[in-house]
Every structure is written in structure tokens, then in C-alpha cells.
Amino acid sequence: MNPYIIEEFENGLLVFKINRPEKRNAISYEVMDGLEIALQKAGEKSVKALAITGEGNQAFCSGGDLSSFHSLKTEDEAFGMLSRMAGLLKEILFLPKPTIAILNGAAVGGGCELAAACDYRIANAGIKAGFIQGTLAITTGWGGGSIIMEKMLPANAMRMLMEAKLYSDEELKELGFIHSVFEGDPIEGCKSFLERMLMLESEVLEAYKSLLVKKWAAAGLEERIDQEVRRCSVLWEGEAHHNKVDSFLNNP
């Protein structure tokens, strides 16, 4: 089974779907490969917006695949994986077109970081999401902490990061993490949310997105993400992190 699906719709919507429901749509190196392809395709003139979602109704993305990444033990080994995914999140952030995360199910840890990189986040009623990295004795490692500091009220962002727990859809909307809650088919929910935007010309959407990109560039967001990745790499090497992951894998 292909670990990802890329589909383009007539209205200019490009959808990247993580297709690993048996792994709660966890990020693997193959999923990263797919994201690179989707981002390349998103640059085509026919594409007006990029949406990211997961297969099924259980999980949007459960973060990095621990069974794959737990073999990374040292700071340098962790940095290679973390910096690659952070690079993809930066591409999503700075993509000159609107992006939207469709939370069809739970978004956990790195899944929240992936969602945070998108301009908009919509969620199926009843989902839960949270930055639970702290429970594994690490921080956000793909740049998600720096990203939500730009996109949410700082106090709310700090709360989500430091509480390291899952929140309900109502709480996520109150915190400002998600913009809208839908019921039913995720793609239809996305089309409804973006309906008026997709009526406009690509050049108009790109011009408005460029205002945001320039703001982030001036604020040094890219450099802050790089520093965040490096700090997480240091914590990744620590005994506390490896013990927590061992415990999680042995007692899921």
C-alpha cells in the first residue's frame, strides 16, 4: 500500500493524504518523500491551495513513527531526521499559496506540528489534538513550537506546549489552534471552508500569502525553527527520552 496519496481536484485544490491508517498515519521517511513530491506539484499554476490530511477517521497524524525513529540514538542521528522534516514544514509555511490541515482524526505530537505549519486548520467534530512531546522528555522537533508562537496568542501556545496533553475540538477552537469544526466527509469540509478563496485567481491568493511570508521572514522564523530543531536533537540523545520511548513502545 502506498504510504501517501496525492490528488488534484478541478477547483485547484491539491490534497496530500497520509495513507498509513494501520500506523495512525505516522510520519515515515516514505511519507516525507511524498510530501516533497506534493510540495513540488503545489507550485504548478493549476494549483490554488494545498490541503494535508490522513486516511480514515481515527488519526490525522500521530507524529513521527517511533518504531522507525527510535533507532536514532545520538544527537546527530536525530538531527538528520528532525531537520529534514522541519525543512518540509518550512516549505509548507512559505508556500506562496494557502495551505490547510484537515484534521480527520487525532493530531498528536509531530502531527500537531504538521498541522501548525498550514495556514488554516479545520477539524472533524470529536477529534483530539495536542503537543505531547514533553511526555517523551523532548520538545517539538520539527519547528512546531516556533510556528504556533507566530500563529496563536503566545500564552495559549505556551499552554499547549507545556501541558503536553490532548485537547477536545472545543478547547482547540477556544485556544485558537483550529479555525473551524466540520462533520462528515473531510474533503467536502475542506472544499466548503475554502470555497470562496478558490473562486479567486491564483495570483491574488499568492499576493496575499506573500504578505504573511514577508512578515515571518522579517521575524526570523526560519532561524528560530532551526534553533528549535537543534535543541530537540540534544534532548533526543538523553537517557530520559530513550527510557520514555522504550516504556511507550512496550506498554502502548
State the CATH number of the domain containing residue 37: 3.90.226.10
Number of domains, the chain:
1
In a domain, 153, yes or no: yes
Predicted local distance difference test score (pLDDT) of residue 252: 62
Range of the domain at 68: 4-187
Compute the Cα dihedral for 111, 36, 227, 239 and give only its sign: positive
> Please, what is the average pLDDT of the chain?
96
Q: How confident is the model at residue 95 (pLDDT cuts 50, 70, 90)?
A: very high
> Residue for cell digits 474533503?
187
In a domain, 166, yes or no: yes
In a domain, 207, yes or no: no
Whether the pLDDT of residue 245 is over 90: the answer is no
Predicted local distance difference test score (pLDDT) of residue 225: 98
CA distance 25 to 159: 26
In a domain, 30, yes or no: yes
In a domain, 235, yes or no: no
Tell me if 217 sits within 8 A of 113, measured CB to CB.
no
Tell me if 133 sits within 8 A of 139, measured CB to CB.
yes
pLDDT digits over 112-138, tens only?
999 999 999 999 999 999 999 999 999
In a domain, 195, yes or no: no
Predicted local distance difference test score (pLDDT) of residue 249: 79
Q: Which three cell numbers stand for residue 87?
A: 525543512
In a domain, 234, yes or no: no
Average the pLDDT over 165-184 and give the result: 97
In a domain, 214, yes or no: no
Q: How confident is the model at residue 27 (pLDDT cuts 50, 70, 90)?
A: very high
CA distance 186 to 190: 6
Q: Which helix (H) or strand (E) holds 123?
A: strand 120-124
Predicted local distance difference test score (pLDDT) of residue 68: 81
Whether the pLDDT of residue 59 is over 80: the answer is yes
DSSP 153: -
Q: Which helix (H) or strand (E) holds 101?
A: strand 99-103
